[in-house]
Structure 1
Amino acid sequence: MAGPRKTAQKTTAQKTTAQKSVARKADRGAPPNRRTGSRRRATETAAAAVPLPQFLAGAGTLTLAQRTLLIDQALLMLEQNYVHLPLKEAMHAVNPLQRLRVLRARTERQTDASMEAEWLFHRQMSGIFHCVRDLHTNYLLPAPFAGKIAFLPFLIEKCFDNAGEHYLITRTITGFTAPQFGPGAEVTHWNGTPIARAVALNGAAFAGSNDAANLARGLESLTLRPLVIQAPPDEDWVTVTYVGLDGSVQELREQWKVTTNLPPMTDLDAVTEASAVMGLDLDSDEKARAKKALYVRDVVELEGGESSAELTAPVAVGAADLPTTMPGVFRARVVTGTHGTFGHLRIFTFSVNDPVAFRDEFVRLAAALPQDGLIVDVRDNGGGHIHASEFTLQTMTPRRIAPEPVQFVSSPLNLRLCRRHKDNPAGIDLGPWFDSLELATETGAAYSAAKPITPEHGANDLGQTYHGPVVLITDARCYSATDIFAAGFADHEIGTILGVDDNTGAGGANVWTHGLLATLLNEPPPADPTTPYEALPNGANLRVAIRRTLRVGELSGTPVEDLGVRPHATHRMTRADLLAGNADLLAAAGALLAAMPHRRLGLATTLTGTTLTVGLDVDGMDRVDLYLDDRPISSEDLTGVPVEIDILDVSPGQWLRADGFASGVLVASRRRQV
């Protein structure tokens, strides 16, 4: 039965006010659903692999002058562009600039005939960049390493029980066999070293920003290494001791192999919006593409060999999955357990070219899932497009999103970059940071003013679309744009964070490549004849954290880098999680959802002539305020029965917003265009 009918009069000023939203691109150039030949390419990925020694035999063509150039350009970027240098020097007691100067002095004493082996040069350069423990700031190896991955034909993951931690085989490449070996076999030793110690030692070589990240990177890199960013393995093969599926103790000797990885999503050297606002852990991104190529062939087939491809029609990868237009980005499922039926929406990456398309597909999938609770799972997500991460937050909260602000470190070269692009709204606009950097020359300020990368209107143009409770699942491999997403989730109090580690990866920055920096001083024309950036040899590259991110809300001003986002609750992965589809993890998330408040904000509208009839059917709220084009129209105290309200003098195209409150606190919001 309908409740009481009320009437609200709209003012003349409101007739001419219209809320505008960020328009979705009409034509994104989405690739069609392609299958022809892609299964063959995926199958050939492992088959085309060559043994590591064979691959390394053809590597090593850098001259002494080219090595010196790489050192000099690394010094330039770390000294003039690297935003975290003061923090890293203090927090980790390191001096990467001095290490580079020493390496350069030693290089000057060498000749082309006497210079050290190239593999040693790459290891020294990688070690210097690794010492700052920043996965945004990298030395990228030249040809033939770029685009290649070294791998063993299996993956290892860690779980816990009452007896402690265990390291289980969770995936094997199709066709690979060994005695009593497969998902569920437990690794005990790695090259004769107890597995936990081997993981810790490996993590020290490929350091993350905190202990949890170190161990996560160390485990993942045991069997998979992108050669563009990690030095090749020292050993030609590994010896693995394991407890087989029948309980027997077995030993496996397996050779490292090298193959070609799937291509990256975007050209990070190009002057585009995507490259300029990228927050991406390249190591994780390379590994995610490698895992698809080696283990998830159905997704590679659907994407036609591209990364994060947007298909013309939704498809389902697994029988339990909802169809999606982005099978390499999302996986959506309905999960049922003792605590109820909820939605599980996995986000594998934010590395997309179109952040609005990303947000809209998230909204579509969330709407197709149960509305009584949503599990958003960002484990292993190395980030990507910062706009995609921050545009999506608004869909789960009634609060207005404040995008995280970012800062440049104050330096002459950063000032020069911002001066050149301070009046460039059509390109990469650095105007918001220019005045403060120019003033820093006189004041001695260490950083520029803090301004958001993500436009605030884009972070709020759609508003809340999912009204059920939300749990976010994180781990130590969440990095960059995913750290920003998790920080925004926490800072806006969207829901509960459940971590399988004690922290996220703690990567809080926007990252630019040497190629992008060099191009920015030459575009728009004319080129800068005094640019300090020089072309790098043989396809080598450098990446640097260029702008650091700061928290908002109660932790306003706190950097994300090295601190990360701590969960509200933790869950240690179990054997059932690794081998039975995250069964215990999803049960833990379901228990959290069941304990959270449940809201419903039903909004029905009918426009008859110039009269808009609004029907409200809500749960978990005691008041709803109505706005038309952001002007207040009515405030309704609710008694639990549906309410109808007539709003007079309304024009098609105007925007209606309903804000729901519980005990004076905003708890839900819904927008609709008339």
Structure 2
Amino acid sequence: MDVKAVLSAAATDPQPEAAAPQPVWTIVPGTLADFLATAGTLTLGQRRLIVRQALLVFEQNFAHLPLKVAMHGVNPVQRLRLLQSRLSRQETPDPEWAFHFELQSIFHSVRDLHTGYQLPKPFADAAAFLPFRIEQAGDRYVVTQVNADLLPVGGDLRVGVTVTHWNGVPIGRAATANGERYAGGNLAARHARGLESLTQRALAGHLPPDEEWVVVSYVDLDGKPQELRMPWLVLRRTVPAAPVGGDAPRGVDIEGEQLASIRSFLFEGAGPSNYTATGIFLWRAVETTSGTFGHVRITGFSLGEFTSQAQFVAALQAHVEAFAQIITSLPEDGLILDIRSNPGGHILAGEILLQFLTHRRIQPEPAQMVSSPLNLLLASHTPDYARWRRSLELSVETGAVYSDAFPLSSEEIVNAFGQFYHGPVVLITDARCYSTSDIFAAGFADHAIGTIIGVDDNTGAGGANVVGQADLLDDLRDVPGSPYEPLPAGAAISVAIRRTLRVGDAAGTPLEDLGVVPSVRHRLTVADVLEGNPDLMETAGRELKLLPKRRLKVSVVPGDDALVTHFDTLGLDRIDVYVDGRPRGSVDVVPGAGSLTLPGTGEQVRAEGFLGGELVAVATAFPQAG
């Protein structure tokens, strides 16, 4: 990684740059009922194969199995054995929807979005949808996006109306009941996902809706009760979805990524209009009664697909350069980071950003594998799992349920650049943050970077590295006796292969299901969901005003066998200066500009800022001729 390039980037203004296009969808003529009439071709032998592989990953690879059995009182392994037994006795297969329903019910019972069964074609490339979106604002459920061109003739549903009932059921109760059918590690996550899937769902991970049409009861903008009846419609993917695994460890909500792409297609141009887009970042300055602050929404942590490690490193370098540019261009009085609805992505892409916000050294979250013969086989033949091999071997003798824990991200890389933003920082989360976003939020909390504001009671609570069964098949393809088999007809299974643990004061605590509980709770208002979050920004501004303000800007000019270090400080009383890792000087400071001449030369200067003897800020600079 190139530290100089990041420092140079931070000295220039960020450039608008739209994110890469989301996967493309097309609308299928007809309704969901028409689509389902032609779906379903799995043979009895193919069903038995899928169940056999599902049982294998649950018993041998699933990192959370002991926790899930204890926390949710479930037994997915026994349910799979029973399903396997029934299939072995069948001569004529049951209806295919019944098979998918039972298998998805087993996967969903463990409340883990990483570990899932993706249905075969044609479901794998399809989504059921209604052309509007509903969001919760306090006790109200408000329509926030509408594709009017897809409403039925005479339909007049508009942004801002309040939905009261769904097929005759009060909307809040309908969302909660719907959420119980699906994964989600806590009540907040299940309710959020239940609400989302009322209107859009990717059929790879969700069964089609039971109803062929819905009746939505709502109060229009004039306060009058209205009803909309419309059938479920279907999208088909025209560009393949990104693979689950890859060379770099990923922690991602597969369903969340698909949902984001569906909404990007349905509601094109309906997103926030007062942000500047640079890759996965949306950023702006926001004015509040507490001051003017920077606001950065991180929409995901997936950096793309790569065919080489060099490509991934280049994408990671561009990622950190963009982040450094953005945060250093925004007001220094406070920064609002916002990861709501972020489905995760590459774990390193999340953990690498934490260092830019704190003087503390970042400790990446460690990860464990469950002790099993198959995981030992993987660790013995696959470089990605080799660090876990020794402890997995010892587990035969020690009886340890889990391997030793090792970080998935390089500690050197997540500390390669150091702190760039010295002002106060808050982080906004919701129940749709998942996986790498959970890991990012946990790191933010565990390193005491700032205040966490939640619009829900918890994050999505996904603490793992996810891989596909197809990735495991490839890992052991040349190993004699590998039990993995290709799945038929485009079906897929994903699994949480390594579980992550918290660090700092919460060291050793699993992130899975427990999530990251915010220290401040903000209930979204109607103005928040319709007008760009003004009330949420006010809450964030008040929290930022409670935190200390600091500034540490450093530049270095080489002289005759000396380095002249110029600095501009706030909230500090002493600076210690290191040159190429060795102490070179120290000076007491007052707010404002100052300088310190250091004897000798060097390549890299690190300034450490103190207040009352406590380290509170760091900055890095390279000598540049004045």
- TM-score normalised to structure 2 length: 0.92
Contact kept in structure 2, 1:436 and 1:449, CA below 8 Å: yes
User: Any idea what SS the aligned residue of 1:105 has?
Assistant: helix
Quote the Cα distance in structure 1 between the aligned partners of 2:351 and 2:388. 20
Secondary structure (helix, strand or coil) at the match of 1:440 reads helix
Matching residue's letter, 1:321 = Y
Structure 2 Cα separation of the partners of residues 660 and 628 of structure 1 = 15
- Select 2:229's aligned residue among 248, 253, 266: 253
Q: Equivalent residue for 2:170?
A: 194
Task: Work out the CA distance in 2 between the residues paired with 1:603 and 1:656.
Answer: 9
For the Cα contact (< 8 Å) 1:170–1:184, is it kept in 2?
yes
SS of the equivalent of 1:511 reads: strand
Deviations 1:169-189 (A, max 9, x none): 110014245555211111111
Give 3-state SS (helix, strand or coil) of 2:205's partner.
coil
Name the residue aligned to 2:547. 596
Quote the Cα distance in structure 2 between the aligned partners of 1:520 and 1:598.
50
Partner in structure 1 of residue 618 of structure 2: 669
Distance, in Å, in 2 between the alignment partners of 1:264 and 1:278 is: 18
Q: Which of 297, 300, 316 in structure 2 is aligned with 1:355? A: 316
Q: What pairs up with 1:489-568 in 2 under 5 angstroms?
A: 489-522=444-477, 527-568=478-519
1:322 paired residue among 276, 280, 286: 276
Q: Which digits, 9 at most, give the CA deviation of each residue in 1:59-104, with x for residues without a partner? A: 1110000000000000000000001001101110000011111111
Q: 1:79 aligns to what?
A: 59
Say which of 356, 376, 390 aligns to 2:351: 390
What is aligned with 1:620?
571
Of the candidates 659, 664, 667, which is equivalent to residue 608 of structure 2? Answer: 659
Query: What SS class does the counterpart of residue 335 from structure 1 fall into?
Result: strand
Task: Name the CA distance, whole Å, in 1 between partners of 2:327 and 2:338.
Answer: 13
Asked if 2 retains the 8 angstrom alpha-carbon contact of 1:262 and 1:289, the reply is: no
Amino acid at match of 2:123: F
Read off the aligned partner of 1:409 and give its amino acid letter: V
Tell me the equivalent position of 1:285.
Answer: 257
Matching residue within 444, 448, 459 for 2:399: 444
Residues 226 and 467 (structure 1), Cα distance of their counterparts in 2 relative to 1, 3 Å cut: same
Tell me if structure 1 keeps the 8 A contact 2:283–2:296: yes
Aligned to 1:6: none
Question: Is the CA contact 1:322–1:365 (under 8 Å) kept in the aligned structure 2?
Answer: no
Alignment of 1:145-184 (within 5 A): 145-160=123-138, 165-176=139-150, 180-184=156-160
In the alignment, which of 190, 194, 215 is matched to residue 214 of structure 1?
A: 190
Does the CA-based 8 Å contact 1:336-1:342 persist in structure 2? yes
Q: What is the CA–CA distance in structure 1 between the aligned matches of 2:235 and 2:549, rounded to whole Å?
A: 49
Offset, 1:638: 1.8
**Which residue number in structure 1 is paired with residue 523 of structure 2?**
572
| TM-aligned CA deviation for residue 298 of structure 1 | 8.2
Equivalent residue for 2:310?
none
Determine which of 88, 93, 116 is the counterpart of 1:108. 88
Deviation at 1:606, TM superposition (A): 0.9
Specify whether residues 150 and 583 from structure 1 end up closer, same or farther in structure 2 by C-alpha distance, changes over 3 A only: same
Between the aligned partners of 2:464 and 2:615, the Cα distance in structure 1 is 31
Q: d(CA) in 2 for partners of 1:580 and 1:261?
A: 31
- How many angstroms apart in 2 are the aligned matches of 1:263 and 1:671? 43
| 8 Å Cα contact 2:555/2:621 also seen in 1 | no
AA at the equivalent of 1:664: G
Secondary structure (helix, strand or coil) at the match of 1:205 reads coil
Q: What letter is aligned with 2:619? A: R
Structure 1 residue identity aligned to 2:449:
I
The one-letter code of the counterpart of 1:200 is T
Confirm or deny that 1:130 pairs with 2:130: no
Alpha-carbon shift at residue 49 of structure 1 (Å): 5.0
SS in structure 1 of the partner of residue 123 of structure 2: coil
Q: Deviations over 1:217-254 (max 9, x none)?
A: 11011001011111111111101111111111111101
For residue 671 of structure 1, give the secondary structure of its aligned residue in structure 2: strand
User: Counterpart of 1:433?
Assistant: 388
CA RMSD of the aligned region, Å? 2.2
Compared with structure 1, are the counterparts of its residues 641 and 202 closer, same or farther at alpha carbon in structure 2 (3 Å cutoff)? closer
Q: What is the CA-CA distance between 1:642 and the residue it aligns to?
A: 3.2
Distance 2:30 2:356 in 1: 47
* Whole-angstrom distance in 1 between the partners of 2:73 and 2:397: 29
CA distance in 1, matches of 2:207, 2:386: 38
Distance 2:51 2:448 in 1: 45
Q: Residues 422-478 of structure 1, C-alpha deviation per residue, up to 9 Å, x if partnerless?
A: xx4xxx3x2221111111111111101100000011100011111111110000111
User: C-alpha displacement at 1:575, in angstroms?
Assistant: 0.8
Alpha-carbon spacing, 1:152–1:640, altered in 2? closer, same or farther (3 Å): closer
Please state how far the C-alpha of 1:608 moved relative to its aligned partner.
2.5
Q: What are the equivalent positions in structure 2 for 1:6-25 lying under 5 Å apart?
A: none
TM-score (norm 1): 0.86
For residues 333-391 of structure 1, the C-alpha deviation after alignment (integer angstroms, 9 at most, x for no partner) is: 11112111111100111111333322221111112211211110000111110000000
- 1:67 matched to which residue of 2? 47
Matched residues in 1 for 2:302 and 2:159: separation? Answer: 29
Q: C-alpha separation between the residues in 2 aligned to 1:401 and 1:154?
A: 42
CA distance in structure 2 between the partners assigned to 1:171 and 1:262 by the alignment? 24
Tell me, yes or no, if the aligned pair for 1:180 and 1:244 is still in contact at 8 Å: no
For 1:266-285, list aligned pairs within 5 A: 266-268=242-244, 272-274=246-248, 277-285=249-257
Q: Deviations over 1:393-431 (max 9, x none)?
A: 00000111000000000000000000112xx4xxx3x22
Could you say which residue in structure 2 is the equivalent of 1:241?
Answer: 217
Q: Is the 8 A contact 1:180 1:245 kept in 2?
A: no
Unaligned runs of 5+ in 2: 7-15, 305-314
User: What CA distance in whole angstroms lies between the structure 2 residues aligned with 1:33 and 1:408?
Assistant: 39
2:26/2:238 contact within 8 Å kept? no
2:312 counterpart residue number: none
Paired residue type of 1:410: S
* CA offsets 1:502-544 (integer angstroms, 9 cap, x no match): 111111000111000111112xxxx113110001000101011
Do the aligned partners of residues 364 and 263 (structure 1) sit closer, same or farther apart at CA in structure 2, a change above 3 Å counting? farther
Partner of residue 583, structure 2: 632
d(CA) in 2 for partners of 1:420, 1:22: 38
> Alpha-carbon deviation of 1:208?
0.6
> CA 1:75–1:22 in structure 2 vs 1: closer, same or farther (change >3 Å)?
farther
Q: Which residue of 1 aligns with 2:333?
A: 372
Partner residue of 1:312?
none
Partner of 2:443: 488
- Which residue is equivalent to 2:9? none
The counterpart of 2:432, out of the listed 477, 485, 490, is 477
Q: Which amino acid aligns with 1:118?
A: E
> Helix, strand or coil for the counterpart of 2:415?
coil
Q: Find the counterpart in structure 1 of residue 594 from structure 2.
A: 643
Cα distance in 2 between the residues matched to 1:511 and 1:34 = 27
Task: Report how many residues are paired.
Answer: 601
Mark the runs of 5 or more structure 1 residues left unpaired by the alignment: 1-18, 25-31, 300-316
From 122, 138, 143, give the equivalent of 2:121. 143
Deviations 1:294-350 (A, max 9, x none): 113589xxxxxxxxxxxxxxxxx83x33352x1xx2110111121111111001111
Compared CA separation, residues 379 and 585, structure 1 to 2 (3 A): same
- d(CA) in 2 for partners of 1:96 and 1:391? 36
Secondary structure at the counterpart of residue 501 of structure 1: coil
Q: 1:290 to 1:235 in 2, by over 3 A?
A: same
The CA distance in 2 between the partners of 1:373 and 1:479, in whole Å, is: 25
Using the aligned pairs only, state the percent identity. Answer: 49
C-alpha offsets along residues 278-298 of structure 1, whole Å, 9 cap, x if unaligned?
Answer: 101111111111111111358
> Which of 94, 118, 121 is matched with 2:96 structurally?
118
